[in-house]
Amino acid sequence: METIGHYLDQMRSASPLVHNITNFVAMNSMANVLLSAGASPAMVHSVEEVEDFAAISNALTVNIGTLEPAWVDAMCIAAKQMNSQSKPWVFDPVGVGATQYRQQTSKQLLALKPTVIRGNASEIMALAGLESSAQGVDGRDSVESAVEAARNLARQLGSVVAVTGPTDVVTDGERIVEIPHGSHYMSRVTTLGCSLNGVIAAFCVGQPSYEATVAAIAYYGIAGETAHNKCQGPGSFWVEFVDALASLSGDDVTSRSQVKL
């Protein structure tokens, strides 16, 4: 594996166009995260244009946070377009344990074999069909308890699976790595998980998806640590975090990364 910073530098030099079909809560934050990181975001969701737009994008993210039937159709169309062009796409099963509708939708999307799946422990366990104490969109299961589910899911689908929480874990079914970066404020600011999907997708453009996912999450967590040290609370954390995503260089990230591959 190259250094973590190498993957960041490559992403920035490509400045990929990331097409996002995400929830209403996340759209603005996610766009700012992607711009600060160095990618180019776009949010496009209608069936009238989603296939055309996916065709000119470099990567896609799909997030079921605020679902509607027409949006589900669009998600499937866009994901198929990415598959047909061998471009990466990231699936975030937000609150999948909460309703039957999310479970049905997630099944449809899993059948399209996402390049990367990212969720909290409860969501990954729900996806894997394991018992879970999922409440709404917050995860109440520990990352550790979801590791086995993640590994099974990764093997079954050929996807990279990332379980995020106090510690993040990434697996491709064979390899597995812990990423010990981040800040507790990251769960006190809305849609930081959703926004991470976009960063992962951007890193995956032209780079191997397992390494790219690990590098994206490490970079994101290190930016969180920078922000943690400067902020006074969740409001200023967000401001510092967006600044840190832009200011951190590839070398900064490499030297601070504690990821062991």
Select from 203, 206, 207 the least CA-distant residue to 218.
Answer: 203
DSSP-assigned states of every residue in 129-189: T-----BTTB--S-HHHHHHHHHHHHHHHT-EEEE-SSSEEEE-SS-EEEE----GGGGTS
Does the footprint of a copy of itself cover residue 246 (CB under 8 A)? yes
Contact 58, 16 (CB under 8 A): yes
Q: How far is the CB of 117 from a copy of itself (least distance, A)?
A: 20
- HSE-CB of 67 using CA atoms within 13 angstroms: 22
Rg (alpha carbons) of the chain, rounded to whole number? 16
Q: Which amino acid is at 63?
A: N
Does the footprint of a copy of itself cover residue 35 (CB under 8 A)? yes
Residue 98 main-chain phi, psi, to 5 deg:
-80, -35
Does the footprint of a copy of itself cover residue 249 (CB under 8 A)? no
Binding residues for a copy of itself, rule CB under 8 A, total 62
Does the footprint of a copy of itself cover residue 261 (CB under 8 A)? no
Q: Which residue of 40, 83, 142, 145 would you call a contact of a copy of itself, by CB under 8 A?
A: 40
Which sign does the torsion angle of CA 215, 219, 225, 228 carry? Answer: negative
Site residues for a copy of itself, 82-121, by CB under 8 A, read: 95, 98-102
Q: Which residue of 1, 43, 130, 176 would you call a contact of a copy of itself, by CB under 8 A?
A: 43
Does the footprint of a copy of itself cover residue 233 (CB under 8 A)? yes
Looking up tokens 């832009």 gives 246
Site residues for a copy of itself, 62-81, by CB under 8 A, read: 65-70
Q: How far is the CB of 142 from a copy of itself (least distance, A)?
A: 17
Site residues for a copy of itself, 122-181, by CB under 8 A, read: 135-138
Summarize as ranges the residues that interact with a copy of itself (CB under 8 A): 17, 19, 23-29, 31-32, 35-36, 40-46, 48-49, 52-53, 56-57, 65-70, 95, 98-102, 135-138, 187-191, 231-236, 238-244, 246-247
